[in-house]
Amino acid sequence: MKNLAEQQLKSLIEAMLFVSALPLSVKQIQQTLASEVTLTKKRIIHALQDLEKDYDQRGIELVLVASGYRFQAKAQFSELIALLFKEKAPRYSRSLLETLALIAYRQPITRGEIEDIRGVAVSSYIIRTLQERNWIHIVGQKEVPGRPGLYATTKEFLDYFSLQSLAQLPELMMVNPLDLNPDKGQEPSVSNAAAESK
């Protein structure tokens, strides 16, 4: 078994990450090389940290997502890089994004619960699209009559949005009840007028 110098190891891991179609975890790197190279997880993590620093001032960066490490273009260049590709990124409907957001923030959640919150039926097309993208999956059944499926997000969802865990989801914005008032723009009520005059 080979014992690679630190620079060799760093270059090897860099090459592995560049050719891999999927993110690589520390464990995957160690297991892949186990038969040829003597490696501890500590050495791999150290090499990854060095690589992260090396790419700090470049157009691509080494990031840790749910499935492992990968190289990706820095977000600040995404719009200009998109000009390279003739096919535009798919546009998703508001209802699909609302459904995905509810699953991400309220998981595990049933389709019926999503419909109760949104106030409209969730089409099978939306659920199928999210499952085909591997962004959601069924993680069990709720112990109620009919035993509906419980939906949750996947590692692929986290990877797509460059997240390591659900804890990194942005905080939900608080909705001001006044924004939901259908009478907004009309004359203030007596109680509101009294409050405003104080």
| Per-position DSSP letters for the chain, written without gaps between them | -B---HHHHHHHHHHHHHH-SS-B-HHHHHHHHTTTB---HHHHHHHHHHHHHHTTTSSEEEEEETTEEEEEE-GGGHHHHGGG-SSPPPP--HHHHHHHHHHHHH-SEEHHHHHHHHSSPPPHHHHHHHHHTTSEEEEEE-SSTT-PEEEEE-HHHHHHTT-SSGGGSPPPPPPPGGGG-TTTTSPPPHHHHHHHH-
pTM, 2 dp: 0.70
- Domains in the chain, CATH or no CATH each: 6-81 (1.10.10.10), 94-168 (1.10.10.10)
Ranges 24-28, 51-55, 66-70, 190-194: which has the least confidence: 190-194
pLDDT number for residue 176: 52
pLDDT higher than 90, residue 2: no
Kindly report, residue by residue over 9-30, the tens digit of the pLDDT.
999 999 999 999 999 999 999 9
